[in-house]
Amino acid sequence: MIAAAIILAAGRGERAGGDRPKQYRDMGGKPLLRMAVQAFLDHPGIATVQVVFQPEDQAYYDAAMTGLSLPTPVSGGESRQASVLAGLRALKSSGAPPDIVLIHDAARAFVSQDIIDRVIDAVAAGAGDNEGAIPALPVSDTLKRGEEYVEETVERANLWRAQTPQGFPFAGILAAHEAHADKALTDDAAVAQAAGMGVRIVQGDERNIKITRPEDFAAVNSEEQMITHDIRTGFGYDVHQFEAGDAVTLCGVEIPHGQKLKGHSDADAGLHAITDALLGAIAAGDIGDHFPPSDPQWKDAASEVFLRHAMELVRRQGGEILNIDVTLICEAPKIAPHRAKMRARIAEILDIAPERVSVKATTTEKLGFIGRGEGLAAQAVATVALKGPQE
Ligand code: CTP
Ligand code: MG
């Protein structure tokens, strides 16, 4: 069962104001669109993430999405519904249309992995081509209808606030959008129902808000601060022996040297220590559990593969890496000339600002195995903020 996501970012964000469409504005240092896309890229059940945008936003798009590997975005239409149809048609003509599609508003940048799970599971369990699923929350306020005065109280039983991602069998929702393109319907569930599909309700999430008005930016910023209270620290340590060679790789940077480091992978003790620190912060075992040295596929592997994997595990828990501090312990080679490059490389792999990465070096005053130049060691500390309720 192959699932794809369509991320809608072709709106103008008129109600939110600001100097650019809201999906390109930053929150906690990242554009909303990047956060929304990242949530789906991080999800193991999503094979493709197709963005729908306005070509006039190309410069904003390029700046927001650096480093992410995505299919070329397609142009949206005048209405949300037209933009969805453009995204569906792009997936159809991609050569490998998915079985299931999740349609999501870029303006809901805080979508969780759990919601994506629930929607995929409900669609996969649904009745073939004829059933979709949406996340929704029950209405808890008393509802009134009226203009200047209350005219009536609306019965709130069985009323829901619909969110996205809304998930459907691909063929069914494409046919529904093609057939009802002329009607002004406000979400995909309405289009699906117009075409006779069933739509199941799964649990939404209060944090999955749609940034709509200027005050939403402020509200979410303060909420974000409140929910990042679950701060974890992890520690990592690694040693590799020197052997005959002409260069070492440390923290992702190759340094010419009279020896190389012996090891199963590229023996980058710096990245191995950071990988273990991240795994430690989320109590997810150690590097050997995830990449057994006995497994030939990891022989000569670039250590950034290990580090990226640890980062993805952190992200899948809704976590964010706050900082990394690594110390390389060796008599030679000299680390100082390469520090800036190492910081930049680590920051790039982890997709965080270089200011959040520290690389230090020390010797052991010629004492011990490191002092005798038999090998080197690396130590790292990682701090991670996990979001969501503390268990
Ligand atoms: N959207 C879209 N194409 C449109 C209109 C909306 O892709 N023609 C997207 C928006 O980018 C947004 C989502 O649909 O991610 C939900 O729409 P909304 O919150 O209304 O965003 P905007 O239309 O951009 O905002 P506004 O209505 O305030 O102008
Ligand atoms: Mg709109």
pLDDT at 158 (0 to 100): 93
Is pLDDT of 348 > 90? yes
Query: Cβ-count burial of 300 within 10 angstroms (0-12 exposed, 13-18 middle, 19+ buried)?
Result: exposed
pLDDT at 388 (0 to 100): 53
Residue ranges of E strands in 139-224: 143-146, 150-154, 160-162, 166-169, 198-203
Is pLDDT of 226 > 70? no
Q: Closest-lying ligand to the alpha carbon of 80?
A: 1
Is pLDDT of 391 > 50? no
Residues with CB under 6 A from ligand 1: 8-16, 23, 52, 76-80, 83, 105-107, 210, 212
Of the candidate ranges 27-31, 198-202, 235-239, the one whose mean pLDDT is the lowest: 27-31
- Residue 218 has phi, psi (to 5 degrees) of -65, -45
Read off the pLDDT of each residue in 106-125 and give the average, rounded to a whole number: 96
Read off the pLDDT of each residue in 263-289 and give the average, rounded to a whole number: 95
Q: Closest-lying ligand to the alpha carbon of 81?
A: 1
Question: If DSSP codes are grouped into helix, strand and coil, which group holds residue 184?
Answer: coil
* Pocket probe mutation, ligand 1, options 80, 161, 163, 188, max atoms within 8 Å of Cβ: 80
* Pocket probe mutation, ligand 1, options 6, 7, 8, max atoms within 8 Å of Cβ: 8
Is pLDDT of 13 > 70? yes
pLDDT in tens, 66-100: 989 899 999 999 999 999 999 999 999 998 899 99
pLDDT at 221 (0 to 100): 64
Query: What is the pTM assigned to this prediction?
Result: 0.74
pLDDT in tens, 148-196: 999 999 988 999 999 999 999 999 999 999 999 999 999 999 999 999 9
Q: How many CB atoms lie within 10 A of CB 185?
A: 19
* C-alpha span between 199 and 201 (Å, rounded): 7
Ligand 1: atom nearest CA of 82 is 8
Of the candidate ranges 99-113, 117-131, 139-153, 341-355, the one whose mean pLDDT is the lowest: 117-131
Ligand 1: atom nearest CA of 210 is 19
